[in-house]
A and B are shown apart, each in its own frame.
Chain A
Amino acid sequence: MKLIRLFRSGLIVGVLLSTAWMPWFAMDDVSAKTEVDKVAIVTPASRSNQGWDQQGVDTLVAIGKDRDIEVEVVENAGNDPITPVLRDLADDDVDLVFCHASGYQSECPEFAQSEGVPVVVIENPDAVLDGLVADIETQAQKVAYLAGVMAAAETKTGKVAIVVSGEPPTWNYMTAGFAQGVHDTNPDVELIYSVIGEAAYDDSPNAKRVTETVIAAGADIVFGMGDGASFGMIQAIREHNAESEDEQAVRFIDVIGDKSDSEAGEFLMTSVLFDYTGAYTTMIDDLEAGTFGSVYTMNLENEGVRLLEPPIEIDPATMEQVEKARQGILDGTITVPTISDAEELETFLDDLAGDQE
């Protein structure tokens, strides 16, 4: 029968192929280095979102140029298993991989352990392993607090919206900090909190819809956390502003990146900037010194997180208030909540709203 013949030939080919593999078994070897020549960064989306992915990539590329280190960039890796990509990087003798997404939380440490290539993960302190896995935490709540102060001082309608594209710890810290900042500055300001979706980081159309809704509900300042979805928010604000009077214009507070040069620049109040320079530099230094494997926390104090200089005109009185608040945080007179869990956050926001009654 023809199929039997097919199977027979298949079997022969299979045997031949497997013998061809034998010599390659011997070729596997991973040499350990302490000098860092080549690093890589893997991001779920692309630099074009001018936020999360861009900050990571641009910072690493800049550091690479500075220290003469080759940087491999893998963008748009998405949410599918990235282990093949990681192995490919390992084959290319990369010394360190920055896994720039919480979605890579399990694969990267596993990869590090099986291949022996050090990785840097984010928001996963439990995975830290001496010499193999380091972690970057971002505690942006204090800077978000300052943004909240600014928002409460600047709002004309008394309603401020927080629009998020998910509820990971990074966003939650900021939401809580921002809310507290608004509340402490002016307890009568109403906070509108809206989640676009469970992991809607790139869902611009829905982001636009949600933003339109919060604007309709009266918010004139939108604190938006969205990665790619931020563009939906920005577009909603643009369209609203184009069709309204100047006094009714809505303004935007961004996170992570610096969009002042984009269309958003016209109504961008500030941004809670994430600056990875310190974190990345420390990681590379650690690796070279042999002390790799710790948690680096980016926050207000080490300027890993800071407020962007307002691209638009802000009342100097407001800026003074912000500065005062900043001092208050630094000297301990102001406490900012540290909330990373979504449920805790909901309770916290409810409590704040309850206070208003």
Chain B
Amino acid sequence: MVIRSAAQSLLVVVGAFVSGAVVLLLTGHNPLLVYLELIERTLLRRSGIEESLVAMSPVLLAAIAAWIASRVGMWNIGIDGQIVAGAVAAGAIAPHLGAWPVWLMWLACAVAGVIAGALWALIPAMLRVRRGVNEIVTTIMMTYVAYSSASWLIKGALKDDEMVAPATRIVDVARRLPELPSTRIHIGVLVAVVACLTVWILSRWTAIGMLSRVAGEAPRAAHRIGVPVDRYVVTAFVASGGVAALAGVNEVIAVRGSVQADWRPPYGLAAFGVLFLARRQVAGLIPAALLLGMLEYGATVLPRSTGVAPNFFPLLEGLILVFLAIVNWRRIVPRGRSLARSEGAT
């Protein structure tokens, strides 16, 4: 079972890479060289492995967020907006907590960020549950509202006066999340992995974890047996937003130390790639996220060594999504969404 799913995912990735190779050929590059360079730089170099792991962290968190939402049959397309919300919240309070012990500051930032992300997801969730508004549209709009609001705040109230490009006041390197000794892997990466494990445990061994699946796949049946579907949906969506926000918090307390006004996190769509590459199994999220983390890192260094324009990598990710969509997922998409049931039931 696991082997077959893994094989199918592998096939998808291969398919995407082959299509990408065609594009490379058409523009005069040697795909073999490019791909070998990609593998060499991301897997066969110590710095590459480290950077790929670091790049994996936000993608993994975003994927977990997408997974939680999909568990109850919802599509959280607004992950990037929630990430920004989390980052802004953390970036807003971090500079004021200079006197606090470091770990407390981190905790505070995390809490603030999660709340911000959760709130950001709450609006589309409530709109969906109360007024039946499709969450796809609302989450996308919320993302753009997040971008503009973030710019407005960062350029205004939160601006670091000593910096030229508008950004929140920077968190000193000494106060950021520590790295694993002798590596560049910051603890945020571990946090992401731990989050993944936590979600796995919750989904298998708690009532809400298991029932949420029923709520997602057969909402009417669930309702009939007394599961508070709406409440589960909102809770899950809000949790999804909170988890996504952690990626933003990491940006502030680990990666860059601040949020810049024009930051547009590119993780929202990749999250779905990871989600479906992993066949919506929590265990598969980590390796799939690592793959996409490698691609993200590759996009920063390959243009210089191969001359390939950086846009090639989003193209590759998009192709992965396309191939994922095409491979028959009838068993993966919650059955509640297929027509047969909804036509038959009243």
Q: What is A's interface to B at a CB cutoff of 8 Å? A: 2-3, 6-7, 21, 24-25, 27, 72-85, 87-88, 91, 101-103, 105-107, 110, 113-114, 122-124, 126, 168-169, 198-199
Contact = CB atoms under 8 A, between A and B. Distances in A.
A176 to B, nearest CB: 16
A81 B301 CA distance: 12
B162 interface: yes
Given A21-B46, A106-B170, A168-B165, 7 more contacts: A21-B49, A74-B303, A83-B255, A83-B256, A101-B165, A106-B258, A199-B166
Contacts of A75: 303
Nearest to A87: B47
A80 B263 CA distance: 7
B260 to A, nearest CB: 6
28 contacts: A3-B283, A7-B283, A24-B46, A76-B303, A78-B310, A79-B263, A79-B264, A80-B263, A81-B255, A82-B300, A83-B255, A84-B55, A84-B301, A85-B301, A87-B184, A88-B304, A102-B165, A103-B165, A103-B260, A106-B256, A106-B257, A114-B173, A124-B163, A168-B164, A198-B151, A198-B166, A199-B166, A199-B262
Interface of B: 1-2, 41, 45-47, 49, 51, 54-55, 151, 155, 162-167, 170, 173, 182, 184, 255-258, 260-264, 266, 283, 297, 300-301, 303-304, 309-310
B262 A79 contact: yes
Given A2-B2, A79-B262, A199-B262, A88 B164 contact: no
Given A87-B51, A102-B164, A106-B167, A6 B256 contact: no
B106 to A, nearest CB: 19
Contacts of A81: 255-256
Contacts of B255: 81, 83
Complex A-B, nearest 4 residue pairs according to Cβ-Cβ distance, in ascending order: A102-B164, A199-B262, A102-B165, A24-B46
Contact of A126 (B46, B151, B162, B283): B162
Contacts of A3: 283
B167 to A, nearest CB: 7
A123 B165 CA distance: 9
Contacts of B51: 84, 87
A175 B28 CA distance: 44
Most chain B beta carbons < 10 A, residue from A3, A74, A88, A113: A88
